[in-house]
Structure 1
Amino acid sequence: MSARPRSQAMPSRRLFLGAAAATTAALAADLSLGAPPARAADSAYVMGYFTESPNGLGTDYGLHLAVSTDSLNWTPLNQNNPVVTPTAGAGGLRDPFIMRKRDGGFVVLATDLKGTDWGYNSQTIHVWDSADLRSFTHYRRPHLHDMVTHSWAPEAFWDASRGQYAIVYSSVNNSGHSVLMVNYTSDFTTVSAPQVFFDPGYDIIDGDMAVGVNGVNYLYFKSSRTGGLVGARSTSLNPGSFTPFSTSVAHGGTEAPTLVKSLTSNTWYLWGDTYTPNGVFYAWRTTDLAAGTWTPVDQKLYTHPVNAKHCTIAPITTAEYTNLLARWGAPAWNRLKSYNHPARYVRHADYLARIDTYPFDPYTDSQWKTVPGLADSSGVSFQSVNHPTRYLRHYDYQVRLDVNDGTAVFAQDATFHRVAGLADASWSSFRSHNHPTRYIRHSDYALRVDPITTATDRADATFSVGH
């Protein structure tokens, strides 16, 4: 990210309040919070994020959105371009947070910061209202404090005992280290005086909460002591009432915790984001939030949006999911993820096809338009997004990116038939059109078309088609 100390690495935000399918009685008793966790009508999820890539080619500090039906595999909206960008303050955002308000609409909060100018100390945050995340209104920048420091990674929840929303964010108060502060508000415009919400005695950032889970409130944060994500809990929502209790989870240095409750099971997911623009998301799972222990989720099972950073996840209805896709559109391109090397994606480099570890720039090297097969429309051909005159084709059994010369031979070499994954039928494999005993597979990370005979071959020839 920058040379900034890791203890102050840039935060995320997300107080996702989640109990799946909250009952009418629970809602009436205000046991769910800020965004009422999950309502009976919720069946999908929306993610908000900003983007950064290693060399900046995919960097954008506006609000990006993606949708999912399982909270694990995501479809970026608007071609992974922003849907709204701040017009004041730093002119950009980090760490967006989406919450459903008690009136049924949404509020979006975000850090007032563009890029990595850590010396830009904004005492304000960005705020929008939105009825449906298809349009954004009433943009404002509430002033949270008068300290000569920042207001990072704002999130919010409904505090029923106060009859107000709480805005929690990372800042440095008189203690001299980074803590979580809180302001209370009814409208996200006028706010109360700031208070310290959580201070364990050392630097922390990125608070994310699950409120009212079997009478307990959970707060996950990035700990400077462990370099990972740690949980605290309290039976109240009062400032100063939370006590750390969980084991730390991390994949390298990890920040930006996001708690997500499955809408279909008793599973909780904890997402984390590694430092720097080269970072990626990792996920852990548990069926017992009170235990404070987490199991890593196999990377085969999830795919986050390309270049996404510091996400927020909230439940939405089927109608909202459908309407968001209709308003913003799904990507016109796909990415292909390796089955047995799920951190790697198919990309071209020097016009040769291979699988490389994400992230990389140009990230567009891994984006493909899957078009009807050039030799047989029942098959598929892979057209490069950033070299649209070129397609993946095999030549001497090596897969490479060549210009379509219009010949029948090229059309056949560039046509493949998508079949059920040879190692996993829920994935995909691609059989050569003109060499039907051969499939696209990787070998020493380079792509080839080869006969498939062993279990290793089948795994090498299996891919996920996603975004």
Structure 2
Amino acid sequence: MLKRRTLLTSGASSLALAGLGVTLPAKQATAATYTGYVMGYFTESPEGNADTYALHLAVSEDGLYWTPLNQNSPVAAPTAGTSGLRDPFILRKQDGTFVILATDLSGTDFTQQNQYIHVWDSADLRSFTGYRRLHMHSMPTHTWAPEAFWDASRGQYGIVYSANSDGRDALWVNYTSDFVTVGAPQIFFDPGFNVLDGTMHITAGMNYLYYKSFADGRIYGARSTTLDPRSFDQSTYTSGVVNGGIEGAIVSKANDRDEWFLWGDSFSPVNGEFYVWSSTDIAVDAWTPLSKAQYNQPLNSKHATIAPITAIEHADLLAYWGAPDWNRIKSYNYPDSLVRHAAYVGRIDPYPFDPYADSQWRLVPGLADTAALSFESLNYPGYYLRHSDYALVLEQDDGSATFAADATYHAVSGLADANWTSFRSHNFPDRVLRHFDSELRIDPIGSDSSSTERQDATFLIVY
């Protein structure tokens, strides 16, 4: 049976996949108000094919596997300043509506000075109103990665962002009641060395601030019982995760249990991918890295934001924006790699790469058996993965019965993991799809085959 870890919207896409035997995971019961998650992001890819500096959205039921909305196209774009954004942030305000903040920067010229941020209001993340730019300061520097939090003791929101003053990057804050006018800027966090990309996580009795240190490239956590400016300066309590090019920290709590996830973004589009760690107690220094088999980021997503949403909001966002009509396919034993075509050969390669559309597939009813499936290329419509001398190639459908049979596969429980999927050849039912030396082929693999062979033949369908 073909397994999926993502939720599909109602409509043609879900109906078609349901016809292929797709099963959707049951929602976990929870008494919490929030049962899902929304992610906001912009997109970049190694050669610039996906560079789109506008707001994108994705939703998730578990906070780890994500369904891009609107075909992974933007849902809102700025019309002033640089007319582009980076580092979006979604905050649910005290009245239950949302405000969206973002860096006013299009592209990768980080030498630009800009004292403004982009702002939208939204009642439901389906419409975006009141677009404006907020003037945060008058310093000759940037205003990067704005985030906001509610400070109950002040009865105001704090907008925190990265700026450079006197030669050092620190986190600054302006207070506001309405995200229309802001108070004077002041330093919020300055531990004595360059820091970037602060993100707040507030719990009962303790407040957490995670940030990137330029001293060693790691992400650290600080904490304070108050939200006062400078109260976090000397309160770093973690040893830091990831040595090297990582930034854009996100701290997200599971809706239904005491488990936290720390997301970090590789700052280079050449290595543009998220890394995730988990902890069952944010109060201690104990973050465990997750395998890329345990999560899946939206296609080409960069420097994201995650906010909890209700089941109704989750359903409404899917119904309004729609889920993609394409999928990607992840390797079991190389979970950083995706099934793709390159020079008309089927293979797996580590994500990200360009052209990224080489990894996008329409899973259509099988050409030889509608109860099975065929892999139609998104960027080469009418071309399918078929086997030829047991090797997988991308070819245009010639209408023949032989082509149809070669391009048809039956989804079965994963040979290495029943929660994943394997694909049995239609006309060579003793053979299944697998990768070998990064290329795809069909080989006889069964329960008595080696563990490596079974893993080679196991995949996960994601977005």
Give your verdict on TM over 0.5.
Answer: yes
SS at match of 2:455: helix
Question: Do the aligned partners of 2:216 and 2:244 also contact (CA within 8 Å) in 1?
Answer: no
1:302 counterpart residue number: 295
Question: Given the alignment of the two structures, is residue 322 of structure 1 paired with residue 315 of structure 2, yes or no?
Answer: yes
The residue type equivalent to 2:221 in the other structure is: G
CA distance in 1, matches of 2:248, 2:350: 22
Question: Given the alignment of the two structures, is residue 454 of structure 1 paired with residue 444 of structure 2, yes or no?
Answer: no
1:192 counterpart residue number: 183
Q: Using the TM superposition, give the Cα deviation of residue 275 of structure 1 relative to its aligned residue in structure 2, in angstroms.
A: 1.8
Q: How does 1:31-180 map to 2 (within 5 A)?
A: 40-174=32-166, 176-180=167-171
Q: Using the TM superposition, give the Cα deviation of residue 251 of structure 1 relative to its aligned residue in structure 2, in angstroms.
A: 6.0
Query: How many residues are aligned here?
Result: 428
Aligned with 1:289 (options 282, 291, 302): 282
Question: Given the alignment of the two structures, is residue 466 of structure 1 paired with residue 440 of structure 2, yes or no?
Answer: no
Cα offsets for 1:286-345 (capped at 9, x unmatched): 111111221101211100011100000000001100110111110010000000000000
Aligned with 1:255 (options 242, 247, 251): 247
CA distance in 2, matches of 1:251, 1:387: 40
Question: Given the alignment of the two structures, is residue 403 of structure 1 paired with residue 393 of structure 2, yes or no?
Answer: no
Unaligned runs of 5+ in 2: 1-29
CA distance in 2, matches of 1:135, 1:251: 39
Q: How does 1:254-273 map to 2 (within 5 A)?
A: 254-273=246-265
Question: Do the aligned partners of 1:251 and 1:274 also contact (CA within 8 Å) in 2?
Answer: no
CA distance in 2, matches of 1:227, 1:323: 39
Aligned with 1:386 (options 368, 379, 384): 379
* CA-based RMSD: 1.1
2:330 counterpart residue number: 337
1:414 counterpart residue number: 407
CA distance in 1, matches of 2:334, 2:111: 39
SS at match of 1:169: strand
TM-score (norm 1): 0.90
CA distance in 2, matches of 1:79, 1:362: 17
2:433 counterpart residue number: 440
- Bigger drift between 293-302 and 72-81 goes to 293-302
CA distance in 2, matches of 1:394, 1:258: 43
CA distance in 2, matches of 1:253, 1:145: 28
Question: Do the aligned partners of 1:247 and 1:293 also contact (CA within 8 Å) in 2?
Answer: no
Q: Using the TM superposition, give the Cα deviation of residue 39 of structure 1 relative to its aligned residue in structure 2, in angstroms.
A: 9.4
CA distance in 2, matches of 1:256, 1:228: 11
CA distance in 2, matches of 1:253, 1:146: 30
How high is the sequence identity, in percent, across the aligned residues? 60
CA distance in 1, matches of 2:243, 2:427: 43
Q: Using the TM superposition, give the Cα deviation of residue 214 of structure 1 relative to its aligned residue in structure 2, in angstroms.
A: 4.2
Question: Given the alignment of the two structures, is residue 207 of structure 1 paired with residue 198 of structure 2, yes or no?
Answer: yes
The residue type equivalent to 1:198 in the other structure is: F
Cα offsets for 1:369-390 (capped at 9, x unmatched): 0000000000000000111121
- Bigger drift between 236-245 and 306-315 goes to 236-245
1:313 counterpart residue number: 306
Q: Using the TM superposition, give the Cα deviation of residue 119 of structure 1 relative to its aligned residue in structure 2, in angstroms.
A: 2.5
Aligned with 2:225 (options 235, 238, 248): 235
Question: Do the aligned partners of 2:36 and 2:60 also contact (CA within 8 Å) in 1?
Answer: yes
Q: Using the TM superposition, give the Cα deviation of residue 40 of structure 1 relative to its aligned residue in structure 2, in angstroms.
A: 3.0
2:19 counterpart residue number: none
The residue type equivalent to 1:463 in the other structure is: F
SS at match of 1:208: strand
Aligned with 1:364 (options 357, 366, 371): 357
